[in-house]
Amino acid sequence: MISALIISLLWVQAYACNQHSHLAAENNSNNSTMVDTMKIKITIGQKVFTSTVHNNATASAFTAKLPLTITMKELNGNEKYFDLPYNLPTNASNPGTIQAGDLMLYGSNTIVLFYKSFSTSYTYTRIGRVDNPSGLAATLGSGNATVRFEVE
């Protein structure tokens, strides 16, 4: 009787550990943490910026499509955007504040590169963040900009 109880307790403990590991893996797959080893090189004219990529399905799908040279359109005096001809996976949330250098996905196919910081009520899926956005606004200018993204 006691050995059956011990076996039952061990089984419950093993099951609970397995469920915890499964949930942790699930949370990590939806997580949007930065990955120091994956970088995107962003070239605008002669200027090159480096972006650290988030660890999520959207960033993985985007980097799989690189290299990519696109003409990004000006919007609102704080961002450049481009509508991709395909959809990327999404996990949108409201960041509250956009930071200069944020590279995000709006909807399922609009790549947005922000060059000014501001508060927002919109939802985005994070792709990456320019490591040093100093000079990004001046480099992008006030009109449309040709931008090349490639895995570094």
Which run of H or E residues covers position 112?
strand 110-114
Mean pLDDT (the chain) is: 84
Query: Average pLDDT of 74-96?
Result: 97
* Structural domain contains residue 102: yes
* Structural domain contains residue 98: yes
Q: Give the C-alpha separation, 42 to 147, whole Å.
A: 7
Contact 51, 111 (CB under 8 A): no
Contact 111, 88 (CB under 8 A): no
Range of the domain at 45: 33-151
Structure confidence by residue, pLDDT tens digits, 86-133: 999 999 999 999 999 999 999 999 999 999 999 999 999 999 999 999
* Structural domain contains residue 62: yes
pTM for this entry: 0.77
CATH number at residue 139: 2.40.100.20
* Structural domain contains residue 4: no
Total domains, the chain: 1
* Structural domain contains residue 130: yes
* Structural domain contains residue 16: no
* Structural domain contains residue 37: yes
* Structural domain contains residue 134: yes
Q: Give the C-alpha separation, 103 to 125, whole Å.
A: 9
